[in-house]
């Protein structure tokens, strides 16, 4: 394949600069294939590992990265994927044990700084997090996503500063807020929208964006009390007639 592409777009001030990075993805199921194809399309260097060579058919037709057939926790297999040059490693196969072992090999043997493992069992995910391996608990995330669409609008505390002076809150507006610009929402709530999750995609907020159904808005608020914001978004906005 020649020298791997090792670059990604980063914005520095008002200039776009090409920066070099390499990713290794273990597992070429629907999640792995989506990750690899997206990263490759963005210009990154990508290597995908899977035991079944047929799994690579899930990759985008114009995928230009490396395909490695083998076991993702095997050191020789990881070397074929150029793990020593990896900026990040993601273990997203269908097996919890395989994912966590591969993630630990990547972290502890090859010293990859950015490692994540997909874990189906949320209890085990919590234990592995305590071992220093970031995990994504698929069942838990799916359940939370469904609940967000079933329950009345809420405002959940995502992060708060140790001083308690500022916090980041995830909130889903009720239907009467649909169609309002982010700028107007900020004026009505008195809170700044930092970014939004829409149709599975995260994007930075801008004043001209308009609230859509199922939008998850991430607000920066003063203090840590989410009740006022929750009550506002659960009720029709008080706009001037």
Counting residues of the chain whose pLDDT is more than 70, the rounded percentage is 81
Task: Kindly tell me if the per-residue pLDDT of 151 is higher than 90.
Answer: no
Mean pLDDT, to the nearest integer, of 126-148? 67
Contacts of 29 (CB under 8 A, 6+ apart): 55, 58, 92, 93, 94
Higher pLDDT, 23 or 134: 23
Mean pLDDT, to the nearest integer, of 33-60? 93
Residue 142: predicted pLDDT: 62
Cα 91 from Cα 102, distance rounded (Å)? 7
Mean pLDDT, to the nearest integer, of 160-179? 89
Banded model confidence at residue 119, pLDDT cuts 50, 70, 90 = confident
Mean pLDDT, to the nearest integer, of 97-113? 92
Task: Kindly tell me if the per-residue pLDDT of 80 is higher than 90.
Answer: yes
Structure tokens at 111: 């010293």
Contacts of 69 (CB under 8 A, 6+ apart): 49, 50, 51, 52, 53
Residue 141: predicted pLDDT: 62
Residue 181: predicted pLDDT: 94
Banded model confidence at residue 4, pLDDT cuts 50, 70, 90 = very low
Cβ atoms of 23 and 88 closer than 8 Å: yes
Of 111, 87, 102, 114, the closest CA to residue 5 belongs to 87
Mean pLDDT (the chain, rounded): 84
Cβ atoms of 117 and 103 closer than 8 Å: yes
Banded model confidence at residue 86, pLDDT cuts 50, 70, 90 = very high
Of 110, 100, 94, the closest CA to residue 131 belongs to 100
User: What number of H helices and E strands is found in the chain?
Assistant: 7, 13
Cβ atoms of 36 and 102 closer than 8 Å: no
Banded model confidence at residue 167, pLDDT cuts 50, 70, 90 = very high
């Amino acid at each position: 394949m020649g020298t791997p592409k090792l670059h990604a777009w980063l914005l520095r001030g008002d200039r776009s600069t090409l920066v070099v990075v390499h990713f290794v993805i273990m597992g070429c199921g629907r999640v792995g294939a989506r990750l690899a194809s997206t990263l490759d399309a963005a210009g990154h260097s990508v290597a995908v590992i899977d035991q079944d060579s047929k799994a690579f058919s899930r990759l985008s037709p114009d995928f230009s990265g490396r395909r490695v057939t083998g076991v993702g926790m095997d050191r020789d297999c990881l070397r074929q994927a150029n793990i020593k040059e990896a900026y990040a490693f993601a273990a997203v196969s269908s097996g919890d044990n395989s994912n966590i072992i591969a993630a630990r090999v990547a972290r502890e043997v090859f010293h990859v700084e950015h490692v994540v493992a997909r874990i189906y069992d949320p209890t085990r995910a919590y234990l592995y997090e305590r071992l220093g391996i970031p995990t994504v608990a698929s069942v838990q995330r799916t359940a939370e996503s469904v609940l967000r669409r079933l329950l009345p609008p809420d405002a959940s505390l995502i992060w708060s500063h140790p001083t308690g002076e500022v916090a980041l809150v995830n909130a889903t507006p009720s239907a009467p807020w649909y169609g309002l610009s982010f700028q107007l929402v900020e004026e009505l709530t008195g809170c700044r929208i930092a970014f939004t999750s829409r149709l599975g995609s995260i994007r930075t907020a801008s004043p001209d964006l308009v609230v859509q159904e199922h939008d998850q808005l991430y607000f920066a608020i003063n203090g840590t009390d989410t009740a006022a914001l929750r009550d506002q978004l659960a009720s029709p906005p008080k706009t001037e007639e």
